[in-house]
């Protein structure tokens, strides 16, 4: 006999749902499959299946900068070449 199932209803921001749908589709999953997978991992691990950490000051600043850039629809570098040049300068030898 097939296991009994239940319907799960959640509210999520439309943009997040759309982006998650596209991202998951790229790896061959639906949102429903991802949620089922997540809940299965909660049961197997008897807890939240991801490490939840409070970001340090440097990480928090990077997150804030990224959000600001996304909101302003701007990039730190004008071209990919400028990005790679900057990375090359900072590379540890």
pLDDT tens, 5-38?
A: 899 999 999 999 999 999 999 999 999 999 999 9
Q: Is the pTM of this model over 0.85?
A: no
Determine the Cα–Cα distance for residues 70 and 89; give it in Å rounded to an integer.
Answer: 25
Residue 74 has pLDDT above 80, yes or no: no
Q: What is residue 86's predicted lDDT score, i.e. its pLDDT?
A: 86
The residues spanned by each domain of the chain are 14-90
Asked if 29 contacts 20 with a C-beta cutoff of 8 angstroms, the reply is: no
């Amino acid at each position: 006999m097939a296991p009994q199932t239940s319907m799960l209803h959640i509210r999520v921001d439309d943009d997040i749902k759309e982006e998650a749908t596209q991202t998951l589709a790229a790896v061959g999953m639906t949102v429903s499959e991802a949620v089922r997978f997540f809940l299965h991992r909660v049961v197997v691990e008897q807890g939240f299946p991801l490490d939840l950490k409070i970001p340090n000051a440097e990480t928090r600043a990077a997150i804030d900068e990224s959000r600001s850039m996304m909101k302003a629809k701007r990039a730190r570098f004008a071209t990919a070449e400028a990005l790679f040049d900057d990375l090359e300068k900072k590379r540890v030898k």
